[in-house]
Copies of this chain bind each other. A is one copy, B any other.
């Protein structure tokens, strides 16, 4: 069964077929002009007949090392549309530079992240973009110290002296919350990603800040953090909304949470009475009733900006590490403009 793949032809094979030296073949392959017409034709023919394709790895190895024409991207979950849109943005810039991108999901698991970045380094990518808090990863830390081109995307490392591109998590959550407050709400719950994740912490901070600005004391029991699937969030939020005196509005700080909440509100039949603002835009968010008001990140743009930064770093023209924070707009669609019931309206 195990039929070994025939060895790929090398320059030597081509040279043999064309009756010349492999160095001359190299000249033809690289388009160097100094080859006579007759020989050139003979070599070209041999290349075509043997199906010769130069080995990029060997070429680059000899050329002196660093450049492999590949960048890495360690993200949380490529099946999450937010991350796949980041990847698409990165890819667009990579193509322009003639680069390929290695992508891998970490599921926010530090061990898997370490392993992935190890693999990137072993394969000598020219640089990588990573969605990571960077705290627990020894390989990453070592590469940063060494000066390997690295750009942090979406999240931000504790050690600040690195290139970072992300949305204004705090400002976005503050905007979401103050939007609800401006529509009369004072009892607002917050559902966010695992609080070990930097962006989730910042978003919770923004939520609290907006409450405080409005003279409302944040209640710890109104803040729920965790890493769950949309169906899990559906159950969690349904429970929260059907226990004791429920909040009159909710902030859902991530796309899967927003989806779970959309289900939960309908499970309870309160989609027209409990207000919701979500983080991240979602397909059909403007088709459901009411439409879901969201803070809309622009993930393809985030990806492009991060990639441009990385390629500048690779080219050595990036200068000092920079932190780029993109503002996020709020899109009104209905769910965020629902007022609280009369009895619970603020003055």
A residues with a Cβ closer than 8 A to B are: 1-8, 51, 53-58, 60-61, 65-66, 68-70, 77-79, 81, 83-85, 87-88, 91, 95, 100-105, 119-124, 142, 145-149, 230, 259, 262-263, 266, 282-289, 300, 315-319
Contacts and interface: CB of A to CB of B under 8 A. Distances in A.
Nearest to A289: B289
A149 B145 CA distance: 39
12 contacts: A3-B147, A4-B316, A5-B149, A5-B316, A69-B123, A78-B84, A79-B84, A83-B84, A87-B103, A101-B102, A102-B103, A103-B103
A91 B70 contact: no
A142 to B, nearest CB: 5
A206 to B, nearest CB: 25
A236 B315 CA distance: 45
How many copies of this kind of chain does the complex include? 2
A316 B3 CA distance: 6
Given A1-B317, A316-B4, A142 B57 contact: no
Contact of A124 (B57, B122, B263, B266): B57
B123 A56 contact: yes
CB-based closest 4 A-B pairs: A2-B316, A84-B84, A79-B88, A56-B122
A175 to B, nearest CB: 23
Contacts of A287: 262-263, 266, 284, 288
A103 B105 contact: no
A173 B90 CA distance: 35
Contacts of A102: 70, 100-103
A68 B66 CA distance: 17
Given A51-B142, A81-B84, A103-B103, 15 more contacts: A5-B148, A8-B146, A51-B146, A56-B122, A57-B61, A68-B123, A78-B91, A79-B84, A83-B84, A95-B104, A101-B104, A102-B103, A230-B283, A259-B283, A284-B285
A284 B6 CA distance: 50
B283 A70 contact: no
B66 A146 contact: no
A289 B291 CA distance: 12
A240 B118 CA distance: 54
A5 to B, nearest CB: 6
